[in-house]
Amino acid sequence: MSPKDVEKMKLAIIGAGAWGTALATSFAARHEVALYCREPEVAEDLRACRENRKYLPGCRLPEAVRIETEFARAVRGADLALVATPLAGLRGAARALREHAETTPLLWACKGIEARSGLLPHQIAEQELSAGVPCAALTGPSFAAEVARGLPTAVTIASSRLEFAEQVCAQLHQPKFRLYANDDVIGAEVGGAVKNVMAIAAGIAEGMGFGLNARAALMTRGLAEMARLGLALGGKRDTFLGLAGMGDLILTCTGDLSRNRSVGLALAQGKPLEKILQELGHVAEGVSTTREAARLAFQYSVDMPITQAMDGILFHGISAEDAVSVLLTREPTKE
């Protein structure tokens, strides 16, 4: 299907942070977009300046994007809803969608593992949406600022219903925002979640001056951890060699725009985690995901030494130096 053959849709994007604003900017070129913003001051600024100065400064929001502060108005008549909040907001958004637009298909662009429940995003959606509502994850290597600027990006639409994923790809695919369908939603979500843990580790390694050899080794072994957990949960190995696995891992561990890598860099400087998160100003999903990934690794008897080391640093008072020492003194095994 060529771009000119795509029927114009009504999209409701839930969440006016950096990612929601970037997606609204990208999709407004071809579709009718409503952007739901729960912060009145941000909404007012968006309407007045057509710029999200709090979360995505320097990127102009198209005039065609409609800013809404009432959820019901934002999703009314939508052909597709897209949740672009942090993972902690997915459950509430899905619940509200069921109340106000019960049959509207749903995408989510959040990544992680839900705190305390240990659930992946699709499991949260299954609990909150009406039975039979089509849904999928939008995931892969993508920084919001680059998407908003129209720089080339490729991501995955993952759903247990491959036909729905292919339909969404056909509708939203653009020359510079390329979408690829995948039926392995578990693998895609595990990749999107655990790569943030590895990015924190990569930041620590870089901050401690370990060099590029160490980063390459960490990313490679981190990919193995991601795949082991994904397979234990029911994912497919090939997914971890694609955009939602290796692609997202490479970007998040090496890119200067990576929030989770920034957390690792600050930890290597000896800053307290609470202060780091306060100064960051955005959610770093890898922090809470680390704890949940470590719990899942224990529950499913999956060997995840890097994840366990990050859990020790973030939540159990272990210094970065001691955690690295444990990793470096592990007995050698077969790759």
pLDDT digits (tens, 9 = 90+) for 7-23: 899 999 999 999 999 99
* DSSP code for 174: B
Nearest one of 242, 278, 243, 246 to 262, comparing CA atoms = 278
**Residue 282: its pLDDT value, please?**
83
| Alpha-carbon dihedral sign for residues 256, 258, 261, 267 | positive
3-state secondary structure of 57: strand
Q: Cα separations (Å) of 326 from 28, 97, 183, 307? A: 50, 46, 38, 12
Question: Phi and psi of 16, rounded to 5°?
Answer: -110, 40
Give the CA count within 13 Å in the CB-facing half-sphere of 29: 19
Confidence at residue 192, expressed as pLDDT on a 0 to 100 scale: 98
236 is known as an active-site residue: no
The confidence score (pLDDT) of residue 193 equals 98
Per-residue pLDDT at 331: 76
Longest dimension (CA), the chain: 60
Question: Which residues are CB-neighbours of 241 under 8 A, at least 6 positions away?
Answer: none
pLDDT in single tens digits along all 335 residues of the chain: 344 456 899 999 999 999 999 999 999 999 999 999 999 999 999 999 999 999 999 999 999 999 999 999 999 999 999 999 999 999 999 999 999 999 999 999 999 999 999 999 999 999 999 999 999 999 999 999 999 999 999 999 999 999 999 999 999 999 999 999 999 999 999 999 999 999 999 999 999 999 999 999 999 999 999 999 999 999 999 999 999 999 999 999 999 999 999 999 999 999 999 999 999 988 899 999 999 999 999 999 999 999 999 999 999 999 999 998 888 888 778 77
pLDDT at 326: 86
pLDDT of 2 reads 41
pLDDT value for 5: 52
- Residue type for 57, please? P
Distance in angstroms (rounded) separating the CA atoms of residues 158 and 228: 19
For residue 248 the two structure tokens come to 């997202």
Catalytic residue (choose from 8, 195, 236, 275)? 195
Domains and their CATH numbers in the chain: 3-183 (3.40.50.720), 186-328 (1.10.1040.10)
DSSP single-letter state for residue 241: G
- What's the distance, Cα to Cα, between the start and end of the chain in Å? 43
| 89/31 Cα distance (integer angstroms) | 24
Residues 55 and 250: their CA atoms lie apart, in Å, by 24
20 touches 284 (CB < 8 A): no
